[in-house]
Amino acid sequence: MNMRCDTIIRNATIIDGTGNPRSTGDVAISGERIAGVGDLGSWSADREIEANGRVVAPGFIDAHTHDDRAVLCGPECMLCKMSQGVTTVVVGNCGISLSPVRMKNRPIPPLDLLGGEEWWTFDSFGEYAERLATDPSPVNTVALIGHMSLRVEAMEGDVFRAATDKEAAHMQSRLRQSLKEGASGFSTGLYYPASNQAPTAEVMAVAEAVRETGALYVTHMRDEGDQVLASIEESLRIGSHVGAPVVISHHKCVLPNNFGRSVETLAVLEAAQARQKVSFDVYPYNASSTVLMPEKMREDVPIRITWSVPFPQFTGRFLSEIAEEWGVDIVAAAKRLLPAGAIYYQINEDDMQRILAHPRSMVGSDGLPHDQFPHPRLWGTFPRVLGHYARDLGLFSLETAVHKMSGKVADVFGLVDRGVVRKGAFADLVLFDPLTVRDAANFETPTLPADGIVETWVGGQSAYVHGKGATKARAGRLVTRGT
């Protein structure tokens, strides 16, 4: 049989994303799909690549991102992800989505993580989807609709209170409409001051829109510190109330007095699994990052500034140093820097490793693409799991690492024919060197591309080549749960 296809990657170690052991063989791409996997000695292709035993895996699916705007601004904006082998991003997390709301003024934090009012121009999710179709991203996008974005619209900006029944009904109908237009779930960020005003009943009322549709409930919980167990219970209750699979975002136990408590949280999540669908994502670092919140300052949590509108010259510096220079306390210094973003060193390495190694965890970067001095997770998450945690520390096998970044995520989000190397699946692929793959980005130099990621393909098209950067390909599309 003489088959002709577009691209063949020969003599590869194939890690197929299912968690199954590796095999060796060739992978053929035809159009946007994988045409064959195995011994394809009699096949020929326009482009033949000798893998020399390097790994071909499904392109990684970043389970947790804030790339809502980044996917709209061309290949350069997504270099941070494609250079890690990422081919699909889940946007709209933590209650923050770029649609369906139009802003007249600068949005309140943390919505401003996505940018000032000039970026908030979508009256509906349908318009956002339309933009992705006419001006495609180099990577695929899976979209969630954020509670906070819905609130700003329904409550006309007056968000530091609980929503009325009428406002909750409005949010519910906007969410229902967005799901019809291609969104895959509902996200909340109940930790953040305005959304924290929303009682559980409000969230349940809005979440009615996902009832029995298979769409997900994804949450940055009300509290990841002292009240982490109560917050897990609340998340599970909301999910089971509307019959939705639950995803706990960036699972962690923050603040030194809670270090070690992942033993308890994982036990609760495991027990819940018998009653309802629940999973969680995690990033492989001991620090978190979000907007700077003076009301959340603690002496025992070092803080580093990632951006500041009035004082851009202080990005990358520790808040305590800035406060000392100004001769004020850290709360006063933080107030002066606003609006601003920060890294909080408040996660215990053992907790993070325990969560990362848990069979139900997925990897999500939570990278913040518009930060001036971003947390290194934006550029380093996926190669860090492959290199540092799987290969160097032996926390799990490379097969497990790849599964947590591809097949597992596709299963949770219901993505069909993605996250797996199999004949007929979409040709979203990464070629990497298992001996050299590693994250180069760190807290001091946070925007370096990874080593060892050789090439990334999206929908059969080469999207990133190591040493060359992003190509001009824009083969990404909106991917909806179940399609």
Interacting residue ranges for Zn ion, rule: CB under 5 A: 94, 220
Task: Say what angle helices 165-180 and 200-207 make with each other, to 10 degrees.
Answer: 40
Q: Which lies closer to Zn ion via its Cβ, residue 94 or residue 216? A: 94
Q: Which lies closer to Cu ion via its Cβ, residue 40 or residue 183? A: 183
**Which of Zn ion, Cu ion, none has residue 112 at its interface (CB below 5 to 8 Å by kind)?**
none
**Which of Cu ion, Zn ion, none has residue 402 at its interface (CB below 5 to 8 Å by kind)?**
none
Task: Say what angle helices 125-134 and 165-180 make with each other, to 10 degrees.
Answer: 30
Q: Which lies closer to Cu ion via its Cβ, residue 92 or residue 387? A: 92
Q: Which lies closer to Zn ion via its Cβ, residue 195 or residue 461? A: 195
How far apart are the C-alpha atoms of 193 and 457, rounded to whole Å?
40
- The length of the chain in residues reads 483
Neighbouring C-beta atoms of residue 463, cutoff 10 Å: 32
Check residue 243 and give left, alpha or beta (phi > 0: left; psi -120 to 50: alpha): left
**Which of Zn ion, Cu ion, none has residue 26 at its interface (CB below 5 to 8 Å by kind)?**
none
- Greatest alpha-carbon pair distance for the chain in Å reads 77
Helices (H), 283-397: 319-326, 330-337, 349-357, 377-384
* In contact, 472 and 79? CB cutoff 8 Å: no
Q: Which lies closer to Cu ion via its Cβ, residue 92 or residue 383? A: 92
Element (H, E) at 48: strand 44-50
In the complex, least distance from residue 482 CB atom to Cu ion, rounded to whole angstroms: 24
Token pair of 56, please? 């071909």
Q: Which lies closer to Cu ion via its Cβ, residue 131 or residue 377? A: 377
How far apart are the C-alpha atoms of 335 and 292, rounded to whole Å?
9
Q: Which residues bind Cu ion (CB under 5 A)?
A: 93-94, 366
Cis peptide before 339 (omega within 30 of 0): yes
Q: Which lies closer to Cu ion via its Cβ, residue 369 or residue 459? A: 369
In the complex, least distance from residue 222 CB atom to Zn ion, rounded to whole angstroms: 12
In the complex, least distance from residue 281 CB atom to Zn ion, rounded to whole angstroms: 10
Euclidean distance between the first and the last CA atom of the chain, given in angstroms as a whole number: 32
CA angle 103, 105, 108 (to 5 degrees): 85
Q: Is 472 exposed, middle or buried (0-12, 13-18, 19+ CB in 10 A)?
A: exposed
In the complex, least distance from residue 229 CB atom to Zn ion, rounded to whole angstroms: 18
Q: Which lies closer to Zn ion via its Cβ, residue 54 or residue 220? A: 220
In the complex, least distance from residue 45 CB atom to Cu ion, rounded to whole angstroms: 40
**Which of Zn ion, Cu ion, none has residue 375 at its interface (CB below 5 to 8 Å by kind)?**
none
In the complex, least distance from residue 156 CB atom to Cu ion, rounded to whole angstroms: 25
Q: Which lies closer to Zn ion via its Cβ, residue 57 or residue 190? A: 190
**Which of Zn ion, Cu ion, none has residue 67 at its interface (CB below 5 to 8 Å by kind)?**
none
**Which of Cu ion, Zn ion, none has residue 210 at its interface (CB below 5 to 8 Å by kind)?**
none
If we measure between CA atoms, which residue out of 227, 445, 266 comes closest to residue 351?
Answer: 266
If we measure between CA atoms, which residue out of 373, 355, 372 comes closest to residue 364?
Answer: 355
Neighbouring C-beta atoms of residue 324, cutoff 10 Å: 13
How far apart are the C-alpha atoms of 433 and 425, rounded to whole Å?
23
In the complex, least distance from residue 94 CB atom to Zn ion, rounded to whole angstroms: 3
In the complex, least distance from residue 60 CB atom to Cu ion, rounded to whole angstroms: 17
How far apart are the C-alpha atoms of 108 and 140, rounded to whole Å?
28
In the complex, least distance from residue 377 CB atom to Cu ion, rounded to whole angstroms: 10
Q: Nearest residue by C-beta to Cu ion?
A: 94
